[in-house]
Amino acid sequence: MKSTIFPLLLAVSTSTSCAQYIRGAVDGLNSPAHSNENHSDESRTLNTRIIGGVNVGGEDTSYTVSLKDEKGNHFCGGVLVSYNAVLTAAHCVGEESGKEGITAVVGRPNLNIGSVGQELKVTKQLLHSKFRASGFEFDHDYALMFLEEDVSVPVDIITMNQNPAFPLPGAKVTVYGYGDVDDSKKITRLSREVLKADLRVVSKEDCEAVEAEFEGNNVTLAGYVDEATMICAKHNDRDSCQGDSGGPLVRHRRDGSKELVGIVSWGVGCANEFPGVYAASSSAFRWARRTICRESRKPHHQFNCEDKW
């Protein structure tokens, strides 16, 4: 579910010709992004999709946001965390993705049904101060997009996980998105409906131990996974991909409630031997709280803006 506009790094090559693939905005697919003078031989391909996903049925996924560019095309995902604030991947922000006139579509599980949900213009985009897109990884891949007004349709605002100890390796998590449903690099078929895929959290050690050939290069994630800010997850042939960047990775609690544990960030290709890498919610919470308490007219109660931060 990595969108062509999302700075999700899809591949890290240890060969001299380094190939880095970004799960990002859709209409930027197969085009270079975030060029790096120190790695002029790299090519980054933005990806946006959920591979092996299923329809969400009657599940309430109204916190899942579709970000559209000025032409009305979906390019990234996002998560509604406050009444006028969308958490997404930093590589989806206009200055990183090249997108202008961004609109957030909320409360619309099927993008073909325009009478459902609400479309609101994004009026401010703020990157995490530690966001870094260099070399082979996206570090602190977080951004907040503020909307022109508070959401006025019935939606579920999801709470962010604050505990860095969770989710544990082996835990079941679910990724949601409108991204590409075809794992071929040459074909982009975005879903018009929210899809979901159940995954399992992979430990940092197991994530970095994966080594395989990808597009002619010997690729490994060793040394690129920051346990404090990233979560690895995979399950057989299920994965997020192009167009999914910034979308939610969710833990379902035993009491039936949901908790945001991460957002789609980067990976090596889609639905292969490599786990997808997600930006951890717990690492973003304090920054999100400070920012939302400062910028929102009506902050969600999860941020306790009445208290000092």
Instruction: Tell me which of 27, 69, 139, 141 is the catalytic residue.
Output: 141
Instruction: Tell me which of 62, 191, 245, 265 is the catalytic residue.
Output: 245
- Determine the Cα angle at 296 with ends 290 and 302, to 5°: 60
Contact 128, 185 (CB under 8 A): no
Is the bond leading into 167 cis (omega within 30 degrees of zero)? yes
141 tagged catalytic: yes
Q: Give 158's DSSP letter.
A: P
User: Which residues neighbour 224 within 8 Å (Cβ) at sequence distance 6 or greater?
Assistant: 9, 12, 136, 137, 208
Q: Give 274's DSSP letter.
A: S
* Euclidean distance between the first and the last CA atom of the chain, given in angstroms as a whole number: 33
Q: Which amino acid makes up residue 276?
A: G
Reference 166, options 285, 271, 49, 287; nearest CA is 285
Distance CA 87, CA 146 (A): 9
Q: Which three-class secondary structure state does DSSP give residue 90?
A: helix
Contact 180, 49 (CB under 8 A): yes
Instruction: Tell me which of 27, 66, 69, 91 is the catalytic residue.
Output: 91
CA distances from 266 to 24, 115, 301 (A): 8, 33, 30
Give the residue numbers marked as catalytic.
Answer: 91, 141, 245
